[in-house]
Amino acid sequence: MTDGSDERNDLETNGGVSRRGFLGSVVPAAVGVAVATEALGAPAKAPAPVPEVPATEPSKLTLTVNGRTHKVLVEPRDTLLVVLREKLGLTGTKPGCERGECGACTVLIDGVPRYSCLTLALEAEGRQVTTVEGLMNGEELGPVQQAFVEEDAFQCGYCTPGQVVAAEGLLRANAEPTLDDIRHGMSGNLCRCGTYAHIFNAVGKAAKLRKAAQPGKAAQPGNAR
């Protein structure tokens, strides 16, 4: 028989925790960990199968660009920028940031400037689309294009088509803009070469050239070519 001396010795040696007390607390804890581990290790319930989505068929699209009608096949994701350049060969519209920040891809839709990189091609169906190529008078430069040349309103020239189209849209809506109107109207088009002063001068000159070319006829907002 034990006289309790072993337990007392354990209490003294282990700072107040007996051998029996230690085992009594550790064993239940170990059993709990084993049970939890088994539960967590159980196979998860298989997720429900995801139905397959068939690939979307190309859509037939009728586009009116620069007064001409084009019939093309496009995917729903195709932007107007992609269709103009890759399917219609109108490469005057430039890809820049392709997220609606630089304005290099600007076109007119029903006479209003729009970023073609943010416009789905299908959105343009039934609308009048005008690109920089459509601003020419046959083989001659249009008033805005001519003004950009005369005012030296470009350096590298990459952003120039978008700048010209944006200026055309501005002048169709406001035939006699002030300098503040021009700055505001052209604010959506960036020029990394920094020729803004020349661009503003060119837009002002274009307004005069347009007025001279159409005596007695005011510009009509939203009137697409």
Please report the domains of the chain, with CATH numbers, ordered by start residue.
59-133 (3.10.20.30), 135-213 (1.10.150.120)
Q: Considering the chain, what percentage of its residues have pLDDT values greater than 70?
A: 72
In this structure, of 8-12, 23-27, 177-181, 194-198, the range with the lowest mean pLDDT score is 8-12
CA–CA gap between residue 139 and residue 213 (Å, rounded): 16
**What pLDDT, on the 0 to 100 scale, is given for residue 203?**
98
**What pLDDT, on the 0 to 100 scale, is given for residue 56?**
73
Q: Which two tokens stand for residue 109?
A: 């839709």
pLDDT tops 50 at residue 138: yes
Q: Which residues contact 184 (CB under 8 A, 6 or more apart)?
A: none
Q: Which two tokens stand for residue 153?
A: 């309103």
Q: Which residues contact 195 (CB under 8 A, 6 or more apart)?
A: 152, 153, 154, 155
Give the confidence band of 225 by pLDDT, cuts at 50, 70, 90.
Answer: very low
pLDDT digits (tens, 9 = 90+) for 65-108: 999 999 999 999 999 999 999 999 999 999 999 999 999 999 99
Which region, left, alpha or beta, applies to residue 209 given φ > 0 means left and ψ of -120 to 50 means alpha?
alpha
Report the interhelical angle of 19-40 vs 5-13 (nearest 10°).
Answer: 70
**What pLDDT, on the 0 to 100 scale, is given for residue 70?**
98
Q: Per-residue pLDDT averaged across 35-53, rounded?
A: 61
CA–CA gap between residue 93 and residue 87 (Å, rounded): 13
